[in-house]
Amino acid sequence: MNTIKRTLPMVFIPAAVLALASQPDALGAPEINPDSSATFRLRAPDARTVELRCEGIPYTALAKGDDGVWTFTTAPLAPDIYAYSLLVDGVRITDPANPHLKYNLINNSSELIVPSPAGAPPKAWERTDAPRGALHRHSFKTKVSGDDRDFIVYTPPGYDPADASARYPVLYLLHGYSDDATAWTTAGRADIILDNLIAAGKARPMIVVMPLGYGTMEVVRAGWQGMRAKPGLWEQNIRDFTPILLDEVLPRVEAAYCVSTAREDRAIAGLSMGGAESLNIGLNHIDKFAWIGAFSSGGLPGDLDAAYPHFNSTTAKQIRLLWIACGNTDQLLTANDQAVSWLKDKAPDAPLYYVVTDLGHTFRNWRRYLAEFAPMLFKK
């Protein structure tokens, strides 16, 4: 019998990075100053260089003090949540003193949270005294790919599972590539956004379902480069997610929650990979979804005629809303422009809204998109 022997690749980790794990520390998360600037600090006395990679801030080097603490203070920042990481002697790390983590299946980041100034109206994702909904986590084994997976369900304030007479509309909200089922509630603050909108009377109380959005987990195991090197893997991932959502997740939701089963009370939306999946499922299953949203869609098919054969002027009349958005510095803007042009050509009278905003491929946009999209849903 032949034996295949595999060894893990050797990875060089600088001593300065290894030493961070044993550093006693009380530096805490980045400090937000009175002018809304932020001061980053890292205790790394043995490091030669420390650099900051942060959304909205040019790549910059921190300065080392005599006490071995590296620091950098930004210019004043707009209220937002910024993902960032540190490069210590060229090795990317999360901030060891910051408990706010943006979890990801491939690369984690830390979060810089800049709040609204005192007295200013809160942003859509900032916690207020609004009544809070609840998050529920479900697990199951999918028949499609044979693996265990989960989905998160948001129920709005006042939801009573014993009141079968109340039937809520449902938004199926999909994450992007390399994220997991928790992304929309951790990085996206979807539950807070919905709490605030519902309390303000801007959105109907709704149930939001956030599933693990892969047709095959092989697309994640392959990583960014490996995925591109395997022809057909991305297409399989998009294709196989459809039966997972429609035949496995959706029936579980409708059996466990007081939700309407009418297509007029179902919406589907997502970001990046989830945007492409939302278009694929929504446009090919107009009998199930009347509301469709696609945020910064990534991995869109090259042949849209083949991908969405059922979308035309006749079927588009059944859609209540087709809402697409993308950032003006997003590398996917051209692909989204082309998809919107195709949709307009196929159904000029479709209720299509295309929004181009500032910024790029980031939750800084996607939080705002959800806050704009959700109030438009389930209008009578």
Region for 9 from its dihedrals, namely left if φ exceeds 0, alpha if ψ lies in -120 to 50, beta otherwise: beta
pLDDT at 224: 85
Q: What is the pTM of this model?
A: 0.92
Each residue of 108-165: pLDDT tens digit? 999 999 999 999 999 999 999 999 999 999 999 999 999 999 999 999 999 999 998 8
pLDDT at 13: 45
Query: pLDDT band at 3, cuts 50/70/90?
Result: very low
Q: Report the sign of the C-alpha dihedral through residues 154, 157, 163, 167, in that order.
A: negative
pLDDT at 92 over 80: yes
pLDDT at 344: 97
Each residue of 126-140: pLDDT tens digit? 999 999 999 999 999
Angstrom distance (rounded) from CA 259 to CA 162: 12
pLDDT at 110: 97
Summarize the confidence of residues 47-55 as an average pLDDT.
97
Summarize the confidence of residues 168-188 as an average pLDDT.
98
pLDDT at 123: 98
Q: What percent of the chain has pLDDT over 90?
A: 89
Each residue of 232-269: pLDDT tens digit? 999 999 999 999 999 999 999 999 999 999 999 999 99
Q: Is residue 29 packed enough to be buried (19+ CB in 10 Å), middle (13-18) or exposed (0-12)?
A: middle
* Count of CB atoms situated within 10 Å of the CB of 224: 12
pLDDT at 18 over 50: no
Query: pLDDT band at 12, cuts 50/70/90?
Result: very low
pLDDT at 164: 83
Q: What percent of the chain has pLDDT over 70?
A: 93
CA neighbor of 336 nearest in space, from 365, 321, 356? 356
pLDDT at 21 over 80: no
Please provide the average confidence, as pLDDT, over all residues in the chain. Answer: 93
Angstrom distance (rounded) from CA 307 to CA 288: 17
pLDDT at 14: 54
* Count of CB atoms situated within 10 Å of the CB of 371: 20
pLDDT at 345 over 70: yes
Structure token digits, residue 318: 């059944």
pLDDT at 9: 44
pLDDT at 27: 72
Q: Which single residue is written with the structure tokens 């040019």? A: 58
* Count of CB atoms situated within 10 Å of the CB of 170: 25
Each residue of 61-84: pLDDT tens digit? 999 999 999 999 999 999 999 999
pLDDT at 22 over 80: no
pLDDT at 2 over 50: no
pLDDT at 24 over 70: no
How many residues can be counted in the chain? 380
Asked if 269 contacts 373 with a C-beta cutoff of 8 angstroms, the reply is yes
CA dist list (Å): 113 to 84, 106, 110, 267, 338: 11, 22, 10, 30, 35
CA neighbor of 113 nearest in space, from 180, 175, 187? 187
Asked if 42 contacts 114 with a C-beta cutoff of 8 angstroms, the reply is no
pLDDT at 38: 97
